[in-house]
Amino acid sequence: MGRYVARRLLQAVPLLFIISVILFVLMQSIGDPLATMSGRRPTRSADRERLKRQLGLDQPVLMQYVYWLVGNDWTSIDLDGDGVRETRGERKGVLRGDLGRSLKKRQPVLDLIGERLPNTLLLMGTYEMVVLVGAVALGIYSAVRQYSIFDHAVTGVSFVLYSMPIFFIALLSMYLLAVKPKQWGLPYFPTVGMFEPEAGKTVPQVIWHMVLPVLSLSLISLAGYSRYMRSSMLEVLSQDYIRTAKSKGLERRYVLFAHALKNASLPIVTLIGLDLPTLLGGAIVTERIFGWPGMGRLFFDSVSDADTPVVMAILMMVSVAVVVFQILTDVIYAWLDPRIRYE
Amino acid sequence: MKSKWHFVLWTVFLVAGLLVAACQPTPTVAPPTPTQAAVQPTQPPPQPTQPPPEPTQPPPQPTQPPARKVATFIWTQEFDTLSPLYTNMWFSTTTFELWQCAAWLFDDQNNPFPSLVTELPSVENGMISPDGKVITLKLRDDAVWSDGEPLTSEDFAFTYEMYVNPANTVASTYPYDQLEKLETPDPQTVVMTFKEPFAPWMIMWRGILPAHVLRPVFEAEGSLNEADWNKNPTVGCGPYVFAEWESGSFARFVANEKYWLGKPKIDEIFFRFVPDDASQIAALQAGDGDLGTFIAWSDIPTLEKAGVEVVPAFSMYNEGIYFYMHPEKGHPALQDLRVRKAIALATDRFSLCTDLLLGGTVPAATDWDQTPWNDPSLQPWPYDPDQAKALLDEAGWVDSNGDGVRDKDGVELVLDYGTTTREIRKDTQAVLQQQLAAVGIKVNLLNAEADLFFSGYGEGGPAARGEYDLFEYSTSPSQPPDPDTADWLCSEIPSDEYPDGSNWQANCDEELDALFAKQRTQVDLEQRMATFHQITKHIFENVYWLGLWQDPDTWAVGKRLKNVKISGATPLYSIMEWELVE
């Protein structure tokens, strides 16, 4: 297993290099980072010329990529536009842990990500837990009570929720559980943000403000996950070994959770393995609507501003996470299903 | 067994419900801030060791400290940085009236009044030299930074040095690069000498850098690009002091105890970053925000129904259409004044304002509408499709092949009309397409995301590269409220040799060029205004730009905020007077 993991990690290096080249080239077409630097007006021509030079955007794409990858502290750059490269570069490059500086915010990208990642992990981690627990519970119950009223109800609601766009559910929940109850004088949830300014950023405040975003995210995913769980469980419950376990007189709950659930959870593990890396990227729509300061918003804003260093950093972070989580998924597979062996 | 499962399920729901209910916000005391130190209970709380009060005395009443007044402003975009050097972003510069200070500010009519200076310079008071090249500023002697250090001419000199130093990647060196030198003969005097007479001098000095804080940083690091102050400007000079900024979430500014004009009536301004427009409206409706910005016309009735007032502030922006007039690359029809005039007459901009914009604004005649710089005799072109048809006939554009589109010399009158993806613009495009089709002009509608639309010629911006015959956006002079702009200069037409040009309409009119050059050196207000009346009349009569509507900034003011006045140029100029009532 150790050799398998090491081999997969080594294979990931050229893969990530190719991904980075493709992404960097694609970045050149996401827009002009200088377009909005003058506020609400197009940037003044003299400033555009100067900023291109100072930010290194006047360099050929290949050279910009090299600077992004290995830095520019080995060469000199022309800051004042006199044609003489008089100033030593300061960037160290991604390979040495320098993700660059945001073109828009002028802060190190690492700092920006460091500020947003915990918020995203809090939101998305909670959401994933709610979905996982809810989907497993609903899926098992639906499978065990197949064709019952409960099963039909869960199936119907699942299809309705699964077909709804997230922005609709988010705005609907905001109006139904925040705006309208307040107007009617009823208890209500907060609309946006992580806390009320008068109360301060306390744990109860953050939990309270997380209810609507988590609810919106969960409703859609819960529908899909629970369907997977139900069908997987139904398939497993009809297997011979389950019949054998039952005929041995084992307790029903033991058969369900010790024998059936372990095998039925394989598809869910695959789904989670695919989902977890993307959680790092945040929930773009949900974070925007509820004003949650996470990675999704950082990514969206950075794409809008054509802020290449930030977009590249987030995409590469997600790429690395996909590779790592895929390896982890394979390892968990082997643990769940003894028939699987990696040589 | 079944009932057991039901029991477990209901128990889980009950516990979950209780947990959620337990998390409901309860009245809590705000975390202590520096400004709270002054607010103490008038009586100490009774101590257990103290003897019981005399029977004749009333029992001690615990005095609650007055509730802190915190106003929540909803910002749909987060600040990029707070340093005046590095930002031109509206959402950042608009905070300057809170925590920064300016030589002068502009009121809700965009009239200037002194702030850091004792009086506004003019030729009459001798503070502007007769040749217009030397301007002297006299500073107040009681202005101090929030850490108690005096604010002097040294801070002005340092600010100027930082703007023009190539080590700093500033957002714009303009207008400080117009200075030949800046002298500080004494702590209260700043003498600016320009290379040429410089009429737009009033766009300077909105945001001063604290030399005593930042000079050591510059000397140590060689630039201010990475100064912590850019994001944490804990020393400022406005009625509020920066307290905290959490990326993507919020920023707080608390009342400045050392502000030389006293203490503002609201204790804290809390900025909440909510990027989604629909969420902003919901938050304002729910009372989760006291101030909102850039409210869409279509949302105004909803907000007004919820008791939220919408206040327009004229920031010199007007929505309009530019005609691409490059002599070789442009459509031949647009070279003819009669065709441009026909387009103006064929478009019903009055109904557009009434129907699409719900009567919230009116058509603009020129890009300087609602300012004294506009020739007051100019009125928007009327809607007259019959006259439009007559003009097109006169210009030789007739439908010779019966396809419903006019043509001339084998060229069809088909125009590409581009704008951003903003909904109101797309709606406008659809309406104008229909109206122009009625007079025989076919229009293809094109849209690009804002960052692509506003990209320069070198970056493939479609407007800059002349890919649209007509292009629409909301525009203003370079630095409102000053009327100057470089967008009409022949030298600013972008090309392969000069990709950074800003005259995207590629319109070179030498008469206009000369008028713009002239106004830029006229420091006498009346003379400059007269020149601008010529400019606006020239652009209007030649239909170089077709105004669609005046585009004021729309602010939503919640029920709790009182005494709110907003300027277009320095929006929060009167923040000291704002009040928060429950």
| More confident: A158 or B1 | A158
The CA distance from A16 to the nearest CA of chain B, in Å, is 28
CB A325 within 8 A of CB A277: yes
The CA distance from B475 to the nearest CA of chain A, in Å, is 7
Question: Which of B86, B166, B475 lies closest to A80 in CB terms?
Answer: B166
Choose the mutation target among A191, A212, A214, A303 for the interface with B, i.e. most B CBs under 10 Å: A191
Q: What is the pLDDT of residues B278-331, one digit of tens each?
A: 999 999 999 999 999 999 988 999 999 999 999 999 888 999 999 999 999 999
CA-CA-CA-CA torsion sign (A171, A173, A176, A179): negative
Residue B252 half-sphere exposure, CB side, CA atoms within 13 Å?
A: 19
By CA distance, what is B174's nearest residue in A?
A47
Chain B partners within 8 Å of A103 (Cβ): none
The band of B41, judged by pLDDT with boundaries at 50, 70 and 90, is very low
Task: With a cut of 60, say whether residue B391 has pLDDT above it.
Answer: yes
User: Is residue B449 left, alpha or beta, with left meaning phi > 0 and alpha meaning psi from -120 to 50?
Assistant: beta
Task: With a cut of 50, say whether residue A304 has pLDDT above it.
Answer: yes
Task: With a cut of 50, say whether residue B270 has pLDDT above it.
Answer: yes
Domain of residue A238, residue span: 111-336
φ and ψ at A165, to 5 degrees? Answer: -75, 150
Chain A partners within 8 Å of B273 (Cβ): 291, 293
User: Is residue B396 left, alpha or beta, with left meaning phi > 0 and alpha meaning psi from -120 to 50?
Assistant: left
| More confident: B101 or B64 | B101
Question: Which of A31, A37, A41 lies closest to B452 in CB terms?
Answer: A31
Q: Which of A280-284, B196-200, B236-240, B418-422 has the lowest mean pLDDT?
A: A280-284
- Longest Cα pair distance anywhere in chain B, in angstroms? 108
User: Is A128 found in the same domain as A96?
Assistant: no
User: Is A281 found in the same domain as A223?
Assistant: yes
By CA distance, what is A198's nearest residue in B?
B30
Q: What is the pLDDT of residues A194-230, one digit of tens each?
A: 998 888 889 999 999 999 999 999 988 888 888 888 8
CA-CA-CA-CA torsion sign (A188, A193, A194, A199): negative
User: Is residue B543 left, alpha or beta, with left meaning phi > 0 and alpha meaning psi from -120 to 50?
Assistant: left
The C-alpha atoms of residue A210 and residue B402 are separated, in whole angstroms, by: 63
Question: Which of A106, A171, A298 lies closest to B225 in CB terms?
Answer: A106
Q: Cβ of B279 and A291 within 8 Å?
A: yes
With tokens 């307290």, the residue in question is B243
Is beta strand B442-448 parallel, antiparallel or unpaired with respect to B291-292? unpaired
Side chain identity at residue B55, one-letter code: P
Question: Which of A81, A106, A200 lies closest to B81 in CB terms?
Answer: A106
The C-alpha atoms of residue A99 and residue A69 are separated, in whole angstroms, by: 9
ipTM of predicted complex: 0.83
The CA distance from B272 to the nearest CA of chain A, in Å, is 7
Flag whether A1 is in a domain: no
> Would you tell me how many other CB atoms lie within 10 Å of the CB of residue B28?
13
Is beta strand B407-408 parallel, antiparallel or unpaired with respect to B411-412? antiparallel
User: Is A190 found in the same domain as A269?
Assistant: yes
Cα dihedral: B54, B57, B59, B65 (round 10): -120
User: Is A291 found in the same domain as A331?
Assistant: yes
The C-alpha atoms of residue A79 and residue B522 are separated, in whole angstroms, by: 34
Choose the mutation target among B293, B454, B488, B497 for the interface with A, i.e. most A CBs under 10 Å: B454
Q: Cβ of B500 and A46 within 8 Å?
A: yes
CB B519 within 8 A of CB B528: yes
CA-CA-CA-CA torsion sign (B100, B101, B105, B107): positive
The CA distance from A53 to the nearest CA of chain B, in Å, is 10
Chain A partners within 8 Å of B285 (Cβ): 179, 183
User: Is A296 found in the same domain as A232?
Assistant: yes
With tokens 């004749």, the residue in question is B56
Which segments of B87-148 are extended strands (E)? Answer: 104-106, 112-114, 134-138
Number of A/B CB contacts below 8 angstroms equals 216
Chain B partners within 8 Å of A204 (Cβ): 22-26
Under DSSP, the state recorded for B109 is: T
Tokens representing B429? Answer: 């495009």
pLDDT, mean of residues B5-30: 40
pLDDT at position A126 is 94
The CA distance from A48 to the nearest CA of chain B, in Å, is 7
The CA distance from A295 to the nearest CA of chain B, in Å, is 9
Domains of chain B (ranges, CATH numbers): 70-314+554-580 (3.40.190.10), 318-551 (3.10.105.10)
pLDDT at position B16 is 45
Per-chain mean pLDDT for chain B? 88
User: Is A89 found in the same domain as A142?
Assistant: no
Terminus-to-terminus CA distance in chain B, angstroms? 55
| More confident: A328 or B539 | B539
Q: Which of A37-46, A97-106, A148-157 has the lowest mean pLDDT?
A: A37-46
Flag whether A306 is in a domain: yes
Task: With a cut of 90, say whether residue A269 has pLDDT above it.
Answer: no
Q: Cβ of B80 and A105 within 8 Å?
A: yes
The CA distance from A70 to the nearest CA of chain B, in Å, is 21
Please state, for a pLDDT cut of 70, what percent of chain B lies above it.
89
SS3 B143: coil
Flag whether A38 is in a domain: yes
Q: Which of A102, A127, A150 corresponds to the end of one domain?
A: A102
The C-alpha atoms of residue B13 and residue B106 are separated, in whole angstroms, by: 58
User: Is A181 found in the same domain as A98?
Assistant: no
User: Is A147 found in the same domain as A59?
Assistant: no
pLDDT at position A49 is 86
Q: Which of A76, A102, A128 corresponds to the end of one domain?
A: A102
Which H or E run contains B418?
A: strand B414-420
| More confident: B11 or B332 | B332
Flag whether A27 is in a domain: no
| More confident: A85 or B78 | B78
**Helix, strand and coil in chain A, % to nearest 5:** 70, 0, 30
pLDDT at position A40 is 64
Comparing C-alpha atoms, which of B483, B479, B539 is closest to residue B512? B539
The C-alpha atoms of residue A214 and residue A125 are separated, in whole angstroms, by: 10
Using a 10 angstrom Cβ sphere, with 0-12 exposed, 13-18 middle and 19 or more buried, the burial of residue B508 is: middle
Comparing C-alpha atoms, which of A24, A19, A46 is closest to residue A34? A46
Comparing C-alpha atoms, which of B250, B254, B257 is closest to residue B267? B254
Flag whether A134 is in a domain: yes
SS3 B70: strand
The CA distance from A14 to the nearest CA of chain B, in Å, is 31
User: Is A138 found in the same domain as A93?
Assistant: no
Q: Cβ of B279 and A196 within 8 Å?
A: no
User: Is A185 found in the same domain as A263?
Assistant: yes
Choose the mutation target among B19, B78, B165, B288 for the interface with A, i.e. most A CBs under 10 Å: B288
Beta bridge partners, B370, equal: none
φ and ψ at A183, to 5 degrees? Answer: -65, -30
Chain A partners within 8 Å of B172 (Cβ): 38, 43-44, 47
Question: Which of B1, B248, B306 lies closest to A293 in CB terms?
Answer: B248
CB B526 within 8 A of CB B199: no
The band of B126, judged by pLDDT with boundaries at 50, 70 and 90, is very high
Side chain identity at residue B322, one-letter code: Y
Question: Which of B87, B288, B306 lies closest to A190 in CB terms?
Answer: B288
CA separation, residue B269 to residues B32, B350, B496, B556 (Å): 15, 39, 48, 16
Q: What is the DSSP string of B454-493?
A: T--GGGT-TTTTT--SEEEEEE--SSTTS---STT-GGG-
Question: Which of B1, B226, B451 lies closest to A36 in CB terms?
Answer: B451
SS3 B435: helix
pLDDT, mean of residues A50-65: 90
The C-alpha atoms of residue A196 and residue A213 are separated, in whole angstroms, by: 16
Q: Give the number of domains in chain A.
A: 2
Q: What is the pLDDT of residues A229-264, one digit of tens each?
A: 889 999 998 889 888 988 988 888 888 888 888 888
Cα dihedral: A115, B282, B574, B200 (round 10): 70
Chain A partners within 8 Å of B68 (Cβ): 198
User: Is A318 found in the same domain as A236?
Assistant: yes
Flag whether A125 is in a domain: yes
The CA distance from B51 to the nearest CA of chain A, in Å, is 35
Tokens representing A157? Answer: 């609601």
pLDDT, mean of residues B144-165: 97
pLDDT, mean of residues A42-64: 86
Comparing C-alpha atoms, which of B211, B272, B219, B210 is closest to residue B241? B210
Q: Cβ of B23 and A105 within 8 Å?
A: no
Q: Cβ of A39 and B451 within 8 Å?
A: no
> Would you tell me how many other CB atoms lie within 10 Å of the CB of residue B447?
16
φ and ψ at A329, to 5 degrees? Answer: -60, -45
Using a 10 angstrom Cβ sphere, with 0-12 exposed, 13-18 middle and 19 or more buried, the burial of residue B452 is: buried
Task: With a cut of 90, say whether residue B380 has pLDDT above it.
Answer: yes
pLDDT, mean of residues B1-26: 41
| More confident: A158 or B532 | B532
Flag whether A226 is in a domain: yes
> Would you tell me how many other CB atoms lie within 10 Å of the CB of residue B3?
7
- Longest Cα pair distance anywhere in chain A, in angstroms? 88
Question: Which of A32, A50, A289 lies closest to B459 in CB terms?
Answer: A32
Q: What is the pLDDT of residues A1-28, one digit of tens each?
A: 778 888 888 888 999 999 999 999 998 8
The C-alpha atoms of residue B171 and residue B163 are separated, in whole angstroms, by: 9
pLDDT, mean of residues A25-53: 79
Q: Which of A48-62, A262-276, B202-216, B330-344 has the lowest mean pLDDT?
A: A262-276
Question: Which of A48, A179, A297 lies closest to B282 in CB terms?
Answer: A179
With tokens 């442009």, the residue in question is B330
Report the CATH number that the domain containing residue A313 is assigned in CATH: 1.10.3720.10
Side chain identity at residue B354, one-letter code: T
Q: Cβ of B270 and A197 within 8 Å?
A: yes
By CA distance, what is A112's nearest residue in B?
B247
Q: Which of A62, A79, A102 corresponds to the end of one domain?
A: A102
Task: With a cut of 50, say whether residue B37 has pLDDT above it.
Answer: no
The CA distance from B333 to the nearest CA of chain A, in Å, is 27
Question: Which of B230, B252, B278 lies closest to A106 in CB terms?
Answer: B230
Beta bridge partners, B313, equal: B553
| More confident: B465 or B4 | B465
User: Is A214 found in the same domain as A71?
Assistant: no
Q: Cβ of A171 and B475 within 8 Å?
A: no
Chain A partners within 8 Å of B18 (Cβ): none
Chain A partners within 8 Å of B15 (Cβ): none
SS3 B254: strand
Task: With a cut of 90, say whether residue B4 has pLDDT above it.
Answer: no
The C-alpha atoms of residue B388 and residue B430 are separated, in whole angstroms, by: 19
Flag whether A19 is in a domain: no
